[in-house]
Structure 1
Amino acid sequence: MQVAGSQKIAAPVDMVWACLNDQEVLARCTPGCKQLVKVGEDRYEAELELGIAAIRGRYKGRIAIEDKEPPSRYRLNIEGEGGPGFVRASLVLDLEPQGDATLLKYQGEAQVGGPVASIGQRVLGGVAKMIMGQFFGGLAREIEQRKAG
């Protein structure tokens, strides 16, 4: 399944980049994140609990940030497994300055398997968009708090 989208964030690229590389910010912004533990340079183990329809359940996974081009791009690789099935995703995040703001664009591919895959690509696509929207909404709130001091 292909995933892509963009979000305009009212902050300069350097601030957005710093937040996207901050373990605590990532944990707070990731929907359902119960734990995010650093296990190496730009490598994390995560525990998520999602309460969204067919993907409801607990997941354990790994997150890796790779191919960094500060402060404009990185690849986010995610693998997770749980009772509802598994997910593997690879997303490229691009940050483009737009005056005092940043346009964050993402594109990539996600694979889903196990019982959760039976709900169909259309429903999964909608769930993926909702999760990404929650993540970027959380990121925008984190940045606003940083800007406020």
Structure 2
Amino acid sequence: MELSNQQALPVSQAIAWDALNDTSLLQQSIPGCEAINPIGENEYEVLMTAAIGPVKAKFKGKLKLSDITPPESYTMAFEGQGGAAGHGKGTATVRLEATGPDDTLLHYAVTASVGGKIAQVGSRLVDMAAQKIAGDFFGNFTAVLQARHPRAVPAGVELAPAPTSAWARFMAWLKRVFG
């Protein structure tokens, strides 16, 4: 399986780099992640639950970072065992590109292989599950970054309070559309 994409992050490159190396923030962001524990220099043990098609299992794995170039990039090697469900291993490259003082573009490329029951569900389901996990991770990761590092509102700009109920949001939309 190969997966590559990019994700806009609403923070500086330095903040993005720190976040990518913050195990508690990553644990919050990775769907199904139960633990990320250091076991050596730039090495971690990870425990997570994942579902790939009809196969759901708890995986125990290891991550090792290499080719570390702060605050720009690193390579991650990973492997995990899910008991009877199977196993997976691969590498990922992560590169950060500053696109503004408070904006960063994260580029990633993943190459992975799976075996066991996971491989039997078919490469299409494995690819779809990987894309969903990546999408969920970046949604969570970006939300945590925005909560920890809210953007400053320019002077003179007033923000309307967010409506709290679906009905209030609908009424606000009607007001905007129909005046």
When the two structures are superposed, what TM-score results if normalisation uses the length of structure 1? 0.94
Q: Which has the higher contact order (CA 8 A, sep 6+)?
A: 1
Matched, 1:65 2:41: no
Structure 1 gaps of 5+ residues are none
**Which residue is equivalent to 1:106?**
108
CA distance 1:14–1:55, change in 2 (3 Å)? farther
Q: Note the 1:41-52 alignment, pairs <5 A.
A: 41-52=41-52
CA shift, 1:87, in A, is: 0.8
With structure 2 as the length reference, what TM-score do the two structures score? 0.79
In structure 2, the partner of 1:92 is: 93
Structure 1 equivalent of residue 144 of structure 2: 142
How many residue pairs get aligned? The number is: 149
Number of the residue aligned with 1:21: 21
Report the equivalent of 2:124.
122
Query: Structure 2 CA distance, aligned partners of 1:121 and 1:50?
Result: 16
Q: Counterparts of 1:40 and 1:121 in 2: how far apart (Å)?
A: 33
Give, in angstroms, the shift of residue 52 of structure 1: 4.6
Distance in 1 (alpha carbons) for counterparts of 2:93 and 2:72: 11
Q: Which has the higher strand share?
A: 1
Would you say the 8 A contact 2:52–2:126 is kept in 1?
A: no
Aligned structure 1 segments of 4 or more residues deviating by more than 6 angstroms: none
Q: Which moved more, 1:135-144 or 1:16-25?
A: 135-144
Flag structure 2 segments of 5+ consecutive residues without an equivalent: 152-179
Percentage of identical aligned residues: 32
RMSD value, Cα: 1.5
